[in-house]
Amino acid sequence: MMAKRTDRQVWAALEEDALDAEMDAVLAMTPEERRRELKAAGFDLDKVQAQADAIGAELAPQAAAKPMQPARMTIMRPKRRRMVVIVPVAMALAAGIAVVVSPYVTDQGVSAHRPDHTPIERARALREQARDDCDARRWEACLQKLDDARALDPEGDGAEDVQSTRRTAGDALHPK
């Protein structure tokens, strides 16, 4: 028998899955698509490139100050050139990920209101969050999420487990 996961473990798994999906989506884009998304989000790619060049320029004198053997010097030059390319690409990729992920992340973590999800999927996510709230004895938050889910998916509200959760929270808030 598998032990029930804690709220924190469930939430971490949800966040990890969402971030993995976003990372896969960004990595599936062409470089031009990523550039377009970054520009549309207001990032100045020329500024990012200039910052990367400045970092590369700072690294170059440090590398040149160290005495090197001729054989090692031929090995280090390509690495230095690679850094000038890798740093801006890594910065642009990180900015792209931040731009793509940020609309789906709130103060509470991954939002149940992703635009690419159907109302039924959003309602299901809200009901799961409501169960977590009830488990944590956050009765008002539980009922609010159940009400929000009912607005998105009225038929799903009739399920026995949903009604049971609703009764439990209602009884806790308004004992007879």
> What is the rounded radius of gyration, in angstroms, for the C-alpha atoms of the chain?
25
Domain boundary among 109, 132, 150: 109
Q: Are residues 69 and 94 in the same domain?
A: yes
- Bridge-partner residues for 105, per DSSP? 110
Q: State how many domains the chain has.
A: 2
Distances (CA, A) of 95 to 44, 103, 151, 163: 11, 13, 36, 43
Q: Is residue 117 part of a domain?
A: yes
pLDDT above 70: percentage of residues in the chain: 75
- Structure confidence by residue, pLDDT tens digits, 132-150: 998 999 999 999 999 999 9
Given a cut of 90, is residue 35 above it in pLDDT? no
Instruction: Identify the residue with better confidence: 105 or 148.
Output: 148
pLDDT value of residue 132: 92
If we measure between CA atoms, which residue out of 118, 119, 141 comes closest to residue 130?
A: 141
Residue 63 covered by a domain: yes
Q: Write out the residue range of the structural domain in which residue 134 sits.
A: 112-173
* 41 and 103 part of one domain: yes
Widest pairwise Cα distance in the chain: 87
- Give the predicted TM-score (pTM) of the model: 0.37
Residues 61 and 119 in one domain: no
Q: Among 61, 92, 109, where does a domain finish?
A: 109
pLDDT tens track for 4-20? 888 888 888 888 888 88
Q: 101-106 long-range CB contacts below 8 Å, 24 or more apart?
A: 101/19, 101/22, 104/18, 104/22
Q: Is residue 6 part of a domain?
A: no
For residues 119 and 105, membership in a common domain is answered with no
Helix (H, G, I), strand (E, B) or coil at 63: helix
